[in-house]
Amino acid sequence: MRKMSDTIARLSALRAQQNVHTPNSTSSNRLSTLNGFGSNPGALQARFYLPENLPQGAPLVVVLHGCTQNAAAYDHGSGWSKLADQEGFALLFPEQQRANNPNLCFNWFVPADTKRDSGEALSIRQMIETLVAEHELDRERIFVTGLSAGGAMASVMLATYPDVFAGGAIVAGLAYGTANTIPEAFDRMRGHGGPSELELQRLLRSASPHKGPWPRISIWQGSADQTVAPSNAEAIAGQWRGVHRLGKAPTRSETVDGHTKRTWSDASGHALIETRTITGMGHGTPLRTGGEDGLGVPRPFMLDVGISSTRRIAEFWGIADPSSSASVKPRQPRRDEELPAGSGMFSLADDTRMSSRTTPLQEPAPTRPAAEATGVKKIIEDALRAAGLMR
């Protein structure tokens, strides 16, 4: 483990060259605010999106933004609400606050926030329970995804609440339990040290009392990512192969949309784990913005490389119809899209509370009224108590 003085020195040096992205409060905002979702020990905010005429029993996707982002900006960039309109599912966007982390990173490396029924993990679980109960969503089709620090927090949610999720997707994230301190977080991001594969599998099994079945996992990583080393994607896959009882060699390896896709399937051919390595891509969420199946808007950490991770992840989970459009040759990211090593995601481990140059977040304009009626509130609170999420 590196000394704290070394960590601070490296942090200061990188902050000097860092081009911190300010969340764009003027970007398209389609999200409403979810209030009264429980004790909220992690002090997070909750945003959500429901397509018009959403049927009863619709799936729910939980989306976790990366550092220096907010929920509305990540939705606008990734296109999740656009896909929700097309395919008919609900969205929940937990949102970090500067009081918890000055760079708006989920605290994936803080033990108090990464245990079942504790901290930020419990806050997100309470949001899920509230939205499911209030809008009668399908408990058998709840999924979680995230980018960067949000991807690492998605790993936390999948490990601590595998009984809640049918599937997950981790984009440029890290394995559960790989870091418990700031210096460890820095090192793991760069692919230095960390638990063995067997230890990662043990950490996953011990994170909850759950014995299976286990969520299906999609893992996305840029081959040229200098912020989160590609070896972290391998660590995530290795962690989940244990509970799924899968061998190290993939069942299938192929080129899809110009990029490497590896799949691990069970004996019946059902895909349980997939990894997508995006050739030449740096740190961010892969987008395809052109064509009929294009989604999202390019911006910092949202990279147009000819493949929509948003759409492909939903297809992997079985909540979106496979795209009929032809694959296109991937576009290599321009140099100005590649942010300096350490920018944004480096700060996901920064709890030194340095002054921030970013502007306060704008409160989203609600598009649907919150449930204020006493009867509805009581139903939600009773559901939270029944699930052990509220006293």
Catalytic residues: 148
Q: Judge whether 110 and 177 are in contact, CB under 8 Å.
A: no
Half-sphere exposure of residue 86: CA atoms within 13 angstroms, side-chain side: 18
Q: How many CB atoms lie within 10 A of CB 336?
A: 6
For residue 286, give the amino acid letter.
P
Reference 218, options 140, 149, 311; nearest CA is 311
Tokens of 36: 């009264």
Reference 391, options 9, 40, 64, 70; nearest CA is 40
* Measured CA distances, 372 to 36, 37, 134, 298, 376 (Å): 9, 12, 11, 37, 7
Place of tokens 């960067």: 148
| Nearest-angstrom CA–CA distance, 309 and 321 | 14
Reference 201, options 154, 244, 151; nearest CA is 244
The dihedral sign for the CA sequence 12, 14, 16, 21: negative
Q: How many CB atoms lie within 10 A of CB 265?
A: 16
Beta pairing class for 302-304 and 167-171: unpaired
Cis geometry, peptide bond prior to residue 300 (ω within 30 degrees of 0): no
Q: Judge whether 118 and 157 are in contact, CB under 8 Å.
A: no
Q: Judge whether 183 and 2 are in contact, CB under 8 Å.
A: yes
* Measured CA distances, 17 to 244, 343, 344, 347, 371 (Å): 43, 9, 12, 13, 46
| Nearest-angstrom CA–CA distance, 48 and 152 | 21
Q: What is the DSSP secondary structure assignment for residue 77, as one 8-state letter?
A: H
| Nearest-angstrom CA–CA distance, 94 and 127 | 8
